Amino acid sequence: MSHPRIKPADALARVRYEIRGPLARRAHELERLGYEIVKLNIGNPGAFGFRAPETMRLAVIENLQQADPYCHQKGIFPAREAVVMQQQSRGVMDVTADEVFIGNGVSELILLCLRALLDPGDEVLVPSPDYPLWTAAVTLNGGTAVHYPCRVENGYVPDPEEVARLATARTRALVVISPNNPTGAVYPRAVLQGLVRLAEERNLVIFTDEIYDQITYDGAEYVPVATLNRHALCATFGGLSKVYRACGYRVGWVSFSGAREAAKDYLLALDLLAGLRLCANVPGQWAVQTALGGRQSIYDLTRPGGRLYETRRVVIEAFARSPWFSTIAPQGALYAFVRARPGAFPAFDDQEFALWLLEHYHILVTPGHGFNVPYNDAFRITLLPDAETMKRVLATLDEAAAAYARR
């Protein structure tokens, strides 16, 4: 007996997440056939041999006896207070533990924060390229993502005046991602000041995704957006996944500063949604205080001689030599956003090339169109392999490009 097909929700037709999409599923199929796949598609430090600091693991183990019950929907107090102390150390003085929410990674908190804010038809200003969960979360919660361009000729840094021209009476929020995923751009202070001024003038909520806050290179200055804001509500997102190489702990946080009095009802709505999911993973929360208060080992990896720095150097040098591809040197985060050189290929399609690369060379990248851009000549790679591995992979990438161009 045949059954009618079960139809998914219409809203999902407008949602993309290529990082774990069809190409990743095909890579899994190839692995099951015995092929080894180099997965440059996702920033997953543990998959490349990185470990969370030992002190964090010990903090989880030593507090397991306290991790059996549900905790408060906002998270355990030591973790929330540690976020407050970090914010205060950066000059954000108007936040308390009551304005901090711990989630199952930043991803869950993005979904909750937008669910608490948006009504159908509301608009959110989102960078292009973006981390695609932001666009997806806006769409899933009935909103419209209005993408503001971060142009390659500007080093993928937005122009606040251009962003302002896209704001309408329906605009509710502005998303800022710096250090940026996928481009590695770190926005200058003056640009961030312009974006904050726009939010203050238009009464927009600022959602500032700072999960890569301490991952910068060659003296690039990370500026916490909340330090520039006075009159808008500012939600700052951070977590253990990247700086602390603990993706599997699934611990993120969001702290609210600025116009908190005007946002009381919104914060109560967010508290309601946090309560509906009971609480975030409790064992991992016990690592937060140790992580934020201890020695910041990430700097050993991002300075000259450090593993991330040296892999980044290999990437920059390889694409400077490549006749096929180029990239803007990433100033922060864990990625390079790669573009096909103009005229290098008779025709280039990011999805087609990524599939070709996977099927014939067993390298998995994320096509650029998955980051909500209006062009199809880009893809993102992660900087997580060690330098020697990356040299071999990029040599193979040029070989694959030559074969693709000859097709």
Tokens 């010990």 belong to 58
Note the maximum CA span of the chain.
66
Distance from the Cα of residue 233 to its chain's centroid: 21
Q: Report the pLDDT value the prediction gives residue 325, as an integer from 0 to 100.
A: 97
Peptide bond into 182 cis (omega under 30): yes
Q: What is the dihedral of CA 219, 367, 236, 279, to 10 degrees?
A: -130
CB 332 within 8 A of CB 215: yes
- Cα separation, 110 vs 237, whole angstroms: 8
Cα 176 to Cα 92: distance, rounded to the nearest angstrom: 17
Report strand pairing: 233-239 vs 205-209: parallel
Q: Is the peptide bond before 120 cis (omega within 30 degrees of 0)?
A: no
- Tokens found for residue 304: 């000259």
In this structure, are residues 102 and 280 in contact, taking their beta carbons and an 8 Å threshold? yes
Of the candidates 85, 46, 23, the one whose C-alpha atom is nearest the C-alpha of residue 250 is 46
DSSP code per residue over 131-163? -HHHHHHHHHTT-EEEEEE--GGGTT---HHHH
Beta strands in 98-142 (DSSP E): 100-103, 123-128
- 3-class SS at 117? helix
Strands 38-39 and 100-103: unpaired
Rounded to two decimals, the pTM is: 0.95
Distances (CA, A) of 36 to 26, 170, 324, 340: 12, 48, 25, 26
In order, the DSSP letters of 66-93 are G-SS---TT--HHHHHHHHHHHHHTT--
Give the number of other Cβ atoms within 10 Å of residue 62's Cβ. 11
pLDDT by 10s per residue, the chain, length 407: 677 888 888 877 777 777 678 898 999 999 999 999 999 998 999 999 999 999 999 999 999 999 999 999 999 999 999 999 999 999 999 999 999 999 999 999 999 999 999 999 999 999 999 999 999 999 999 999 999 999 999 999 999 999 999 999 999 999 999 999 999 999 999 999 999 999 999 999 999 999 999 999 999 999 999 999 999 999 999 999 999 999 999 999 999 999 999 999 999 999 999 999 999 999 999 999 999 998 899 999 999 999 999 999 999 999 999 999 999 999 999 999 999 999 999 999 999 999 999 999 999 999 999 999 999 999 999 999 999 999 999 999 999 999 999 87
Provide the pLDDT for residue 6.
86
Per DSSP, the three-state class of 20 is helix
Domains of the chain, first to last: 10-51+300-406 (3.90.1150.10), 54-293 (3.40.640.10)
Which pair of structure tokens corresponds to residue 241?
């996944």
Q: Which helix (H) or strand (E) holds 406?
A: helix 387-406
